[in-house]
């Protein structure tokens, strides 16, 4: 007995010692292991910031959606709460408001089976009830029987899953972009992800059978910090017309894809960036061609070639004749032809540019720079900034490729110079070419294009982006002035005559490039790219714009036929919407009006009439000793006389030509009753002037 007792005491001492070691000495280690296995903190998503247009319109926002689950083994969910009446009511609500394909009876049996299932059944504590519910629907479910008891007594689990929404749907879709798990970030969503995403919080989760983690509380342990808003430079109205005009052109010409960009000349703000691509499911913004697609610009590049010649003084007189050899010439072993046959032996310098003569342009460049002077021509291109990327905030931009004769990697040949002069053997994105044209419109000052003007937090500015000058002067003032003259000639008398406007002056250059060629020996199935780049109004530019449409298959393929009408549609809409593009009506002193154009026989109070005439800027001659009432009379060809109108205190006055206010004042003060017919000024009165006033009724007819 003593031996057994001693053994029991010894075992008890060992057990108590081990308990002390586990509960006291090793407590922190075991607690950490328990937490890692059964409870853990996970990231709680933050509210992503909004992307806004220039006027504050929402381009992208996060809306709260909710997933609802049920824990059938919640600690406080007793049989008293989970009674027959509550289950029947909950089943009816779920069948009525959540999923009507199941009857209340089916829902009741399902709920009871889940409640009675063994704890070992996977997912028994995290049963999906509904997904992606809007806030009002989630609140409705929260009020259902049993669920209304909350997380511990009712087993109700509600998790928020913010979803990104675009109120304007396809509008600027590729520019706005997206971030997706497992995919490269795109557009503003990707470039400004660190700003938009905010800082995630921490949510305490507990592991339940089935190796599933469910939230311990509805609220996060550490609240997430919402992301900042990004305010873009995009103008919703200009973006809309750019996309619609581009889409219509792509559909009309059955093109493969296209893009259009509108930039504010003075600042470099991008007011619209539209991209359209053809897909098996229809037209969509599949790629940001405006920023990411490097192409040979074709004849739109001729502006740089002519500016180089202007800078070196090779051309001065635009009326000087230049040989064009009937529109066909051979340079080394390669034949160069004009896009449109004309049969002319010579053209003036202005005609070569306005009518986009490949032969004339290449011949001039070859004559001036062809004998070991090609580097001088290329240096001008670099001075114009055509070798620089724009470094736009949107990702995916590639640097331009402009060959240099002394670079062995450039594969420079004898025909590179003439072909480069007409926009081949070099690569530029549409945005890079537009930046160059925008500098010409801005009197030579090159601005960095940008699409984000500030970030905000709850309406307060966090960071602001200002216009940035890349180059104060890409060329001399004389060259810029003459270049703009050439661009205006393209619209007034050249290839873009079809987009001339009576009320808005346009300037720009058409471009038609072959996509599959070898020095103009086109392969089978010629593919083209149509473009137009320019600015408006031509004399005081507010916006610059480029339109590029690739592989049109019907209705023409030249820049004038395909791209220029899109440019015109955008310009027309901008002109209609933007007051700053309209010349003030009082900018110039008005011409003197003729007698039949002057107001005549209008009558009223002398002081009011004189004040009105002064406000309108109409000169008048005032009669001497003018009384309180006056009448206008036009005479002497272009003179306006302000004459006295006699008004008796006792007789009916003449109110012809007066407004209703003055007419009623005079008649009623003399005891007459007044009836009115019509609107405008008094043209006829029933009581003759001079009649003794004695309470009669006078009918006034207004026109």
Q: What is the mean pLDDT of residues 2-14?
A: 92
22 pLDDT band, cuts 50/70/90, is confident
> What are the residues facing 370 on neighbouring strands?
none
Average pLDDT, stretch 47-74?
A: 89
What integer is the mean pLDDT of 503-521?
Answer: 80
Q: What distance in Å separates the CA atoms of residue 267 and residue 233, rounded to the nearest whole number?
A: 11
Q: CA-to-CA distance for 440 and 481, rounded, in angstroms?
A: 8
Q: Tell me if 324 sits within 8 A of 352, measured CB to CB.
A: yes
Distance between CA 353 and CA 494 in Å, rounded?
Answer: 8
| Strand duo 621-622 + 639-644: pairing | parallel
With 50 as the cut, is the pLDDT of residue 460 above it?
A: yes
DSSP 589: P
**What span, in angstroms and rounded, lies between the C-alpha atoms of 89 and 154?**
14
> How buried is residue 646: exposed, middle or buried, by Cβ count under 10 Å (0-12/13-18/19+)?
exposed
How does the average pLDDT of the chain come out, rounded? 87
Q: How many CB atoms lie within 10 A of CB 680?
A: 10
pLDDT for the residue 327: 86
- Confidence bin at 595 (pLDDT 50/70/90): low
**Quick check: 39 pLDDT over 70?**
no
pLDDT digits (tens, 9 = 90+) for 424-452: 999 999 999 999 999 999 999 999 999 99
Residue 475 has pLDDT above 90, yes or no: yes
**Sign of the dihedral defined by the CA atoms of residues 440, 441, 444, 447, in that order:** negative
Q: Give the whole-angstrom CA distance, residue 558 versus residue 302.
A: 16
Which range, of 74-83, 343-352, 568-577, averages the lowest pLDDT?
Answer: 74-83
Using the predicted structure, report yes or no on whether residue 518 has a pLDDT greater than 70.
Answer: no
Average pLDDT over residues 94-113: 90
**Token reading at 275:** 């991209």
Provide CB contacts within 8 A for 450, sequence distance 6+: 233, 268, 269, 270, 392, 393, 465, 467, 468
Considering 134-138, 435-439, 591-595, 600-604, the range whose residues carry the highest mean pLDDT is: 435-439
Element spanning 282, H or E: strand 282-284
- With 80 as the cut, is the pLDDT of residue 488 above it? yes
Residue 22: DSSP 8-state: I
**Other CB atoms closer than 10 Å to residue 79's CB: what's the count?**
7
Q: At residue 46, does pLDDT exceed 80?
A: no
pTM value is 0.74
Phi-psi region of 487 (alpha: psi -120 to 50; beta: other; left: phi over 0): alpha
Position 520 scores a pLDDT of: 46
**Better pLDDT: 59 or 618:** 59
Report how far residue 457's alpha carbon sits from residue 56's, in angstroms, rounded to the nearest whole number: 14
The pLDDT value given to residue 519: 46
What pLDDT, on a 0 to 100 scale, did the predictor assign at position 336? 85
Element (H, E) at 18: helix 2-20
Whether pLDDT at 481 is above 80: yes
Torsion of CA 602, 606, 607, 611, to 10 degrees: 30
- Cα 330 to Cα 223, 333, 336, 338, 487: the distances in Å are 73, 7, 6, 12, 28
Q: Which pair of structure tokens corresponds to residue 263?
A: 């930039």
Residues above pLDDT 70, as percent of the chain: 91
Q: Which helix (H) or strand (E) holds 603?
A: strand 603-605
Per-residue confidence (pLDDT) for residue 512, from 0 to 100? 92
**Would you say residue 213 has pLDDT above 80?**
no
396 in the Ramachandran plot: left (φ > 0), alpha (ψ -120 to 50) or beta? left
The average pLDDT across 669-689 equals 90
Annotate 111-177 with three-state secondary structure: HHHHHHCCCCCCCCCCEEEEEEECHHHHHHHHCCCCHHHHHHHCCEEEEEEEEEECCCCCCCHHHHC
Cα 428 to chain centroid, rounded: 23
> Residue ranges of the alpha helices (H) in 578-659?
606-616
Distance from the Cα of residue 117 to its chain's centroid: 56
Q: Average pLDDT in the 397-414 region?
A: 90
d(CA 515, CA 523): 10
Give pLDDT, residue 522.
Answer: 45
Say how far apart CA 570 and CA 271 lie, in whole Å: 11
Q: Which domains does the chain have, with CATH numbers?
A: 42-172+198-227 (3.90.1310), 239-534+542-581 (3.40.710.10), 595-702 (no CATH)
**What are phi and psi for residue 284, nearest 5 degrees?**
-155, 165
- Lowest mean pLDDT segment, chosen from 142-146, 155-159, 427-431, 636-640: 636-640
Residue with tokens 């395909």: 562
Write the DSSP assignment of 54-66 as a string of letters: TTS-EEEEEEEEE
The mean pLDDT of 375-399, rounded to a whole number, is 93
What value does the mean pLDDT take over residues 519-545? 82
Sign of CA dihedral 73, 79, 80, 83: positive
Average pLDDT score over residue span 270-296: 91
Q: Which range scores top for mean pLDDT: 38-42, 278-282, 546-550, 690-694?
A: 546-550
Distance from the Cα of residue 26 to its chain's centroid: 62
């Amino acid at each position: 007995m003593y031996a057994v007792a001693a053994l029991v005491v010894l075992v008890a001492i060992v057990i108590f010692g081990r308990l002390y070691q586990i509960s006291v000495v090793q407590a922190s280690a075991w607690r950490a292991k328990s937490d890692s296995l059964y409870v853990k903190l996970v990231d709680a998503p933050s509210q992503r910031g909004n992307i806004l247009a220039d006027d504050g319109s929402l381009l992208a926002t996060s809306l709260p959606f909710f997933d609802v689950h049920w824990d059938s083994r919640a600690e406080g969910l007793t049989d008293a709460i989970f009674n027959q009446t509550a289950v029947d009511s909950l089943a009816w609500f779920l069948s009525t408001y959540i999923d009507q394909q199941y009857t209340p009876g089916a829902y009741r049996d399902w709920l009871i089976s889940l409640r009675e299932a063994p704890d070992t059944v996977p997912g028994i504590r995290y049963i999906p009830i509904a997904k992606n519910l809007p806030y009002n629907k989630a609140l409705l479910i929260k009020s259902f029987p049993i669920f209304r008891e909350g997380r511990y007594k009712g087993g109700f689990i509600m998790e928020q899953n913010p979803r990104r929404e675009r109120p304007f749907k396809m509008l600027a879709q590729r520019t706005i972009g997206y971030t997706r798990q497992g995919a490269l970030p795109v557009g503003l969503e990707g470039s400004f992800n660190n700003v938009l995403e905010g800082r995630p919080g921490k949510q305490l989760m507990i592991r339940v059978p089935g190796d599933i983690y469910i939230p311990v509380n509805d609220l996060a342990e550490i609240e997430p910090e919402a992301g900042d808003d990004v305010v873009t430079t995009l103008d919703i109205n200009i973006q809309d017309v750019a996309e619609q005009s581009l889409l219509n052109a792509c559909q009309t010409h059955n093109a493969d894809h296209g893009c259009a960009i509108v930039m504010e000349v003075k600042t470099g703000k991008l007011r619209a960036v539209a991209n359209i691509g053809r897909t098996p499911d229809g037209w969509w913004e599949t790629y940001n061609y405006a920023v990411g697609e490097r192409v040979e610009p074709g004849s739109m590049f001729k502006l740089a070639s002519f500016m180089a010649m202007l800078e070196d003084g090779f051309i001065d007189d635009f009326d000087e004749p230049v040989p064009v050899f009937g529109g066909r010439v051979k340079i080394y072993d390669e034949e160069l032809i004009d896009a449109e046959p004309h049969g002319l032996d010579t053209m003036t310098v202005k005609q070569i540019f306005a009518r986009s003569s490949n032969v004339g342009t290449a011949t001039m460049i070859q004559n001036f720079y062809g004998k070991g002077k090609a580097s001088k021509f290329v240096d001008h291109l670099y001075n114009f900034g055509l070798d620089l990327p724009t470094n736009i905030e949107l990702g995916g931009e590639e640097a331009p490729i402009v060959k240099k004769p002394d670079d062995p990697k450039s594969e420079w040949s004898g025909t590179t110079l003439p072909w480069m002069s007409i926009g081949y053997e070099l690569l530029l994105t549409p945005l890079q070419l537009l930046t160059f044209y925008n500098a010409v419109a801005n009197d030579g000052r090159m601005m960095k294009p940008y699409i984000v003007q500030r970030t905000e937090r709850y309406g307060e500015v966090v960071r602001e982006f200002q216009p940035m000058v890349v180059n104060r002067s890409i060329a001399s003032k004389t060259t810029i002035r003459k270049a703009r003259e050439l661009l205006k000639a393209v619209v007034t008398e050249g290839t873009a005559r079809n987009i001339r406007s009576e009320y808005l002056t346009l300037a720009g250059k058409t471009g038609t490039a072959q996509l599959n060629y070898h020095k103009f020996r086109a392969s089978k199935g010629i593919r083209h790219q149509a473009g137009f780049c320019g600015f408006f109004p031509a004399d005081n530019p507010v916006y610059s714009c480029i339109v590029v449409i690739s592989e049109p298959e019907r209705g023409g393929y030249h820049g004038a036929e395909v791209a220029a009408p899109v440019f015109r549609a955008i310009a027309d809409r901008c002109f209609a919407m933007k007051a700053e593009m309209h010349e003030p009506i009082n900018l110039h002193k008005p011409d003197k009006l003729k007698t039949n154009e002057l107001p005549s026989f209008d009558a009223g109070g002398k002081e009011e009439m004189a004040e009105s005439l002064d406000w309108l800027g109409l000169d008048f001659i005032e009669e001497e000793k003018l009384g309180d009432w006056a009448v206008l009379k036009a005479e002497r060809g272009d003179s306006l006389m302000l004459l006295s109108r006699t008004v008796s205190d006792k007789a009916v006055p003449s109110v012809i030509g007066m407004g209703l206010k003055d007419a009623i004042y005079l008649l009623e003060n003399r005891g007459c009753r007044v009836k009115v017919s019509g609107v405008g000024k008094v043209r006829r009165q029933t009581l003759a002037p001079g009649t003794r006033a004695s309470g009669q009724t006078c009918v006034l007819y207004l026109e």
